[in-house]
């Protein structure tokens, strides 16, 4: 994954791509994989780093959507349950079975949720992860001893998937490369090319060098998430907004608040949503919220009211209620929800289904959806690109396509196991240079070799790329991650051929970003 070699691919004179994908989040990367594995010449460009936006800020769930079942959206649940099972099969090093418990404090909750979750299991069919059943009070407290005991009647256990979103995205980038595609980060689309009123390519600017490239293509996919309207207005300045951004916030707490392997699902909060507390990388992720935002941002910030809502809600179920001082990191993400035709729905009521839209000029845009259904979204998008681009009709092969790094053991036993089959490559760096085995953070078990690997093999270009997305330090403990920044900058500078001034700018810039992940 050498960015300079990727740049050379787009510099080739007279080259016409079959498919250009704009956007390096879940939907864009999924589409690039689907396209390149059908045999199309595929290029993906991302304006910042891969999953810099929404796709690194999820609840870390691969799920069918219990809430959507309650809303009666059976079609979406069926699709998501199928895709959940396929993700588990295709990336077992990063996607694992997660047991959830719904604590029951009222007499009717155990039978009610047991029946509903049994239906959930039946809908999953052969791709199910395990069956749901009720627990007695004693068993519930064995699994989650930190629950409030008073009036607890037991719980209902069910299964969903859990994963590391940005690590999966890195492996998806590598999957595109493995199959002959071209992928470049920090490459922003600034204009669309047209011939006879139809899309014929894009103009991009390299965010590092400032160099512009005119890239010809038979079809173009706008997979930019909450930024799709910006690209649509490049196509048609009068185009209406088709995405309604919704902010979701998550808090990260120490493991003491949820010491076991089971997660908690609170099925109804005061705002009508569900709330999760999930074990993740030896911490606990708690969320989320749902607040409409007026405009998209690359670095959205959590509102005090969102933080207080999460702390208050989870505090009603735990013996030791967490406070702001207990929060190791807070992160906010914007969901690219498909704007409803009625126009007045609250964001929590908008379907999480996806839509593929084609403009008069044949610009294809994918909106809505969620991480779990990225593969189906990609398949639908490429089917449409084939249609508008006059490409040869070829069937998607991604249902049974292993993601780069895939191996038959799940990747949560040791810190380096998240690399899947690439774990041996990281360990080889240590054998060749024992200094790279030194720890950058004993608390998060991150070693220097991971920085070298991220630069050489995962296209990390900045300190933030590494600390936020190649490892998850920023999301797990923001303050601890800042203490690692200088060492990370030094290693990256050596690998990238940068000077001392670059190091200092990187540390300062990262420290500034990390402030929004901390609660004062």
Give the C-alpha separation, 438 to 490, whole Å: 14
Q: What are the tens digits of pLDDT across the range 58-88? A: 999 999 888 777 777 888 889 999 999 999 9
Is the confidence at residue 405, as pLDDT, over 70? yes
- pLDDT bracket for residue 346 (50, 70, 90): low
Helices (H) and strands (E) in the chain, counts: 16, 20
In this structure, the dihedral spanned by the alpha carbons of residues 146, 59, 291 and 329, taken in order and rounded to 10 degrees, is 70
pLDDT at 349 over 60: no
Pick the closest to residue 277 from 304, 301, 306, 311 (CA basis).
Answer: 311
Calculate mean pLDDT across residues 406-420.
78
Whole-angstrom CA distances from 457 to 30, 229, 429, 444, 450 are 19, 33, 12, 21, 10
pLDDT digits (tens, 9 = 90+) for 422-464: 999 999 999 999 999 999 988 889 999 999 999 999 999 999 9
Cα dihedral across residues 494, 499, 501, 505: positive or negative: negative
Q: What are φ and ψ of residue 288, in 5° steps?
A: -140, -175
Q: What pLDDT, in 10s, does the model give residues 224-258?
A: 999 999 999 999 999 999 998 999 999 999 999 99
Give pLDDT, residue 342. 58
Q: Tell me the average pLDDT across 11-17.
A: 94
Q: What is the pLDDT of residues 461-499, one digit of tens each?
A: 999 999 999 999 999 999 999 999 999 999 999 999 999
Look up the pTM and report it: 0.95
Question: How far apart (Å, rounded) are the C-alpha atoms in residues 242 and 421?
Answer: 40
Structure-block tokens of residue 208: 């590092």
Q: Which domains does the chain have, with CATH numbers?
A: 3-54+166-242+346-400 (3.50.50.60), 95-163+244-338 (3.30.9.10), 415-515 (1.10.8)
pLDDT tens, residue by residue, 120-167: 999 998 888 889 999 999 999 999 999 999 999 999 999 999 999 999
Find out whether 514 and 484 touch, Cβ atoms under 8 Å: no
Assess contact for 92 and 62: CB atoms under 8 A: no
Least confidently predicted of 50-54, 267-271, 275-279: 267-271
Q: Label the pairing between strands 364-368 and 439-441.
A: unpaired
Largest CA distance in the chain: 72
pLDDT on residue 9: 96
């Amino acid at each position: 994954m050498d960015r300079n070699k990727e740049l050379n691919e787009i510099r080739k004179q007279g080259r016409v791509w079959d498919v250009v994908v704009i956007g390096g989040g879940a939907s864009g990367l999924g589409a690039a994989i689907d396209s390149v594995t059908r045999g199309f010449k595929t290029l993906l460009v991302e304006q910042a780093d891969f999953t810099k936006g929404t796709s690194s800020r999820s609840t870390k769930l691969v799920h069918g959507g219990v809430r959507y079942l309650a809303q009666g959206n059976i079609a979406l649940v069926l699709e998501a349950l199928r895709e959940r099972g396929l993700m588990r099969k295709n990336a077992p090093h990063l996607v694992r079975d997660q047991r959830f418990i719904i604590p029951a404090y009222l007499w009717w909750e155990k039978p009610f949720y047991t029946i509903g979750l049994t239906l959930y299991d039946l809908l999953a069919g052969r791709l199910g992860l395990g069956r749901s059943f009720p627990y007695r009070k004693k068993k519930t407290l064995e699994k989650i001893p930190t629950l409030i005991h008073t009036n607890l009647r037991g719980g209902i256990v069910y299964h969903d998937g859990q994963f590391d979103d940005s690590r999966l995205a890195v492996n998806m980038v590598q999957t595109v490369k493995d199959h002959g595609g071209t992928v470049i980060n920090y490459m922003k689309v600034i204009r669309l090319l047209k011939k006879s009123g139809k899309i014929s390519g894009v103009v991009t600017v390299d965010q590092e060098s400032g160099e512009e490239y005119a890239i010809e293509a038979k079809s173009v996919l706008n997979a930019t998430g909450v930024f799709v309207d910006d690209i649509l207005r490049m196509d048609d300045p009068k185009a209406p907004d088709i995405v309604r951004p919704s902010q979701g916030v998550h808090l990260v707490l120490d493991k003491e608040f949820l010491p076991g392997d089971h997660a908690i699902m609170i099925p109804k909060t005061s705002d009508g949503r569900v709330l999760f507390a999930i074990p993740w990388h030896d911490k606990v992720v708690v969320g989320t919220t749902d607040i409409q935002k007026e405009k998209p941002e690359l670095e959205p910030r959590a509102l005090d009211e969102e933080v207080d809502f999460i702390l208050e809600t989870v505090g009603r179920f735990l013996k030791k209620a967490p406070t702001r001082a207990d929060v190791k990191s807070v992160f906010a993400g914007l969901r690219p929800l498909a704007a409803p035709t009625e126009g007045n729905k609250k964001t929590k009521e908008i379907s999480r289904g996806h839509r593929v839209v084609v403009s008069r000029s044949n610009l294809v845009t994918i909106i809505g959806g969620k991480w779990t259904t990225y593969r189906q979204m990609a398949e639908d998008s490429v089917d449409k690109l084939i249609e508008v681009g006059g490409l040869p009709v070829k069937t998607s092969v991604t249902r049974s396509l292993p993601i780069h790094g895939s191996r038959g053991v799940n990747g949560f036993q040791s810190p380096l196991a998240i690399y899947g089959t690439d774990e041996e490559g990281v360990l080889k760096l240590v054998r060749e240079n024992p200094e790279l085995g030194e720890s950058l953070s004993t608390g998060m078990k991150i070693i220097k070799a991971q920085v070298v690997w991220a630069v050489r093999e995962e296209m990390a270009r900045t300190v933030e790329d590494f600390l936020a997305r190649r490892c998850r330090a920023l999301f797990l403990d923001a303050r601890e991650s800042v203490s690692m920044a200088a060492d990370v900058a030094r290693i990256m500078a050596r690998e990238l051929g940068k000077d001392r001034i670059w190091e200092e700018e990187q540390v300062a810039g990262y420290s500034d970003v990390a402030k929004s992940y901390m609660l004062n």
